[in-house]
A and B are shown apart, each in its own frame.
Chain A
Amino acid sequence: MAILELKNIVKQFADYTAVNGVSLSIEQGEFFTLLGPSGCGKTTLLRMIAGFESPDSGQILLDGKDIKDLPPEKRPLHTVFQSYALFPHMTVRDNIAFPLKMAKWNKSAINERVNEQISSVQLERFAERYPHELSGGQRQRVAIARSLVDRPKLLLLDEPLSALDARLREHMHVELVKMQEKSGVTFVYVTHDQSEALALSSRVAVMNHGIVEQLGTPREIYSRPKTYYVADFIGKCNLLKAKVSHSAAEHVTLSIADSFELTIANPENKFNLGTEGWFAIRPEKIKANWDPRVEDGIANFKAKVKGYYYYGDGTLYEFLLENGTVIQCMLSNNRPHQASFFEDNDEVYISINPLAGNFLVE
């Protein structure tokens, strides 16, 4: 059964609609991520679940009960704030004990649970310190320990890693996943960082302008984007103008960027002759060679190297087609043929497998 269900949530602020009819169902034990740029409504949605904002319409069901009218302190869930919001006048121990004190646990039970929680995040040596005496990563761990101490049904995390530097952030990714698995608590995670979302989540909801554009596993989101926006927002992507030029039973032929043609499957006859859209293909799904590849269905065409960026593990090439279209292509640097390092103005063959791309009409 779903632990959290959002039904048609709408939230309007004075001059704009922050959340516009979002429905989501989040399963027990999931690491669920709301991903989107700033202003897409993801934080507003989180604040409505936490109880700091109330939706204009819609339902928020936690364990089947509507919690829409409960004040934040009555909701059996906690939030990890972007700024951590540790109480500066309390030690690490007192911070972590706070939820238990508010729930009127008895002293020995509080002590026991707090000690357990402190050791689970390896902060024993820092228990009597104040928040300003801790490093960013330690503060982060205290904030999460404090929110998990009374085993809430749901943990909401509002961009919790955005204040940390890149290395620490990667380290915290591992810790977050571990903590989530160990506690078994359902995490709802808000971030604008797509790599974070892909690496951590069991499912991702990509939000834009107050609606959910696509919902799915990280793999689905990345390799099968459903809209132009999702393809563009997540990772690098070539988005080439495309139009259906031939239509046959269950197949259509696309004319892409007025340069080459590809035949793709057309299940349920979704696309008609003349349908316009974009052909989206990730740079690492494109191959480039000195010679064309002869395989069924693969499009080969000539292109010129416009420039490249060396990333260490791979090289990102920019190819120029005859009509001026630019295609980005990420080639791995561990390929056996070292001859395949191209220089500017080299003429090469690009090959694209139609199965590696997606035809997007939205």
Chain B
Amino acid sequence: MTQKVQRSLSEKWVLSLPPIIYLIGLFLIPTLLMVFIAFREPGDYGGVAPLLNHSNGSTTLNLTLDGFKYAFTSGFIWKLFLRSVVFSVITTIICLIIGYPLALMIAKSNKKIRDFLLLLVIIPFWSNFLIRIYAWMIILGPESTVSNIVNQVLHWLGFAPVDLLFSSAAVVICLVYINLPFMILPLYANLEKHDVALLEASRDLGASKAKSFWQITIPLSLPGILAGCGLVFIPCIGMFVVPELVGNNCSMMIGNLIKQQFLQTMNWPLGSVTSIVMTCSVLAISLFVGFLASRSGGLKYARK
């Protein structure tokens, strides 16, 4: 008996060892390093200054809170952070509005078509992320058909022509494009499991089609909505490639700042501080949303 328990325990360890090593090596240690670097002095040519300061025969630890002080007082960092949140929220909402009907349609179509539609959702992953953004640069470019049509319409309405590419709009369009599958897939996984009998029961008990959707389908898909929103919102906030490629000066996001601190300004401590602020904020937002959701009762069903 005890032997059996012991063996199952050791099996558990063997099985969970690779992910544990992975998490320690690629998540925990880098995070601790980042936190450590956040308290160091920046080095003269990038990196960090030596930890120990030898002067006048005495040795002092070379740690500082300057990075945090700067981060919390600098309007620039907060502006970028706020902009990142706004872009991410807009992206998440658009993804939800586009993704929900799509996921519902896929979940309700018959088996053969369903697999094909799911394949269409996944196909973009087959080509490189950067290549797909370059494709959007062509689509939104000044001589493109899309640009011409938009500017033609604006012209008729009496507005001045606009540049689609290198704008905040282009950033949001690309963010939506990149993240849409991450909204559709969890929503589909949820909607596909819904019992048709529940909708029939709701109709039978006097709810119209539209009412049944709001009363039954939406509340039951809340776990899927939350998962999708989380999967879109969280990576969105830290995104730096998209604003760099299709954005302008006014669409720089917090991820761009972090990248700049590490690669151009060479201020590693400030980059680390910014990362920590971002990570903690995202964590706080997620926990808050999770808290609201658990109070609304929708998750009670999901936890069953």
Q: Which residues of A line the B interface, CB within 8 A?
A: 50-52, 71-73, 78-79, 81-83, 85-89, 98-99, 102-103, 130, 132, 146-147, 150
- Cβ of B195 to closest chain A Cβ, rounded Å: 7
When distances are taken between beta carbons in the complex, the residues of chain B under 8 Å from A51 are 203-204
Please name 11 further chain A to chain B contacts, defined as beta carbons within 8 Å, in addition to the given A86-B201, A87-B215, A132-B301, sorted by A numbering.
A52-B204, A71-B209, A73-B205, A73-B206, A81-B197, A88-B220, A99-B205, A102-B205, A102-B211, A132-B304, A147-B205
**Which one of B200, B206, B216, B300 contacts A99 once the chains associate, using CB atoms below 8 Å?**
B206
Q: Are B205 and A98 within 8 A (Cβ)?
A: yes
Chain A interface main SS type: loop
Minimal Cβ-Cβ distance residue in A for B222: A89
When distances are taken between beta carbons in the complex, the residues of chain A under 8 Å from B141 are none
Q: Are A73 and B220 within 8 A (Cβ)?
A: no
Residue B219 at the chain A interface, CB threshold 8 Å: yes
CA distance A72 to B215 in the complex (A): 16
**Which one of A85, A102, A130, A150 contacts B207 once the chains associate, using CB atoms below 8 Å?**
A102
CA distance A247 to B20 in the complex (A): 92
Residue B130 at the chain A interface, CB threshold 8 Å: no
When distances are taken between beta carbons in the complex, the residues of chain B under 8 Å from A98 are 202, 205-207, 215
CA distance A85 to B202 in the complex (A): 9
CA distance A57 to B298 in the complex (A): 43
- Cβ of B203 to closest chain A Cβ, rounded Å: 4
Residue B198 at the chain A interface, CB threshold 8 Å: yes
Q: Are B301 and A85 within 8 A (Cβ)?
A: no
When distances are taken between beta carbons in the complex, the residues of chain B under 8 Å from A147 are 205
Q: Are B200 and A89 within 8 A (Cβ)?
A: no
Q: List 19 A-B contacts (CB under 8 A).
A: A50-B200, A50-B204, A71-B209, A72-B203, A73-B208, A78-B204, A79-B201, A79-B204, A81-B197, A87-B215, A87-B216, A88-B304, A89-B219, A89-B220, A89-B300, A98-B207, A99-B205, A102-B205, A103-B206
Interface size on B, residues (CB 8 A): 23
CA distance A98 to B207 in the complex (A): 9
When distances are taken between beta carbons in the complex, the residues of chain A under 8 Å from B211 are 102
Q: Are B203 and A73 within 8 A (Cβ)?
A: yes
Residue B297 at the chain A interface, CB threshold 8 Å: yes
Minimal Cβ-Cβ distance residue in A for B198: A85
**Which one of B200, B206, B208, B297 contacts A85 once the chains associate, using CB atoms below 8 Å?**
B200
Known: A72-B203, A72-B204, A73-B208. A85 touches B300 (CB 8 A): no
Q: Are B206 and A83 within 8 A (Cβ)?
A: no
CA distance A3 to B115 in the complex (A): 46
Q: Are B304 and A52 within 8 A (Cβ)?
A: no
CA distance A211 to B197 in the complex (A): 26
Name the residue in A50, A85, A89 with the highest tally of chain B Cβ atoms < 10 Å from its Cβ. Answer: A89
Q: Are A78 and B298 within 8 A (Cβ)?
A: no
Q: Are A102 and B301 within 8 A (Cβ)?
A: no
When distances are taken between beta carbons in the complex, the residues of chain B under 8 Å from A85 are 195, 197-198, 200-201
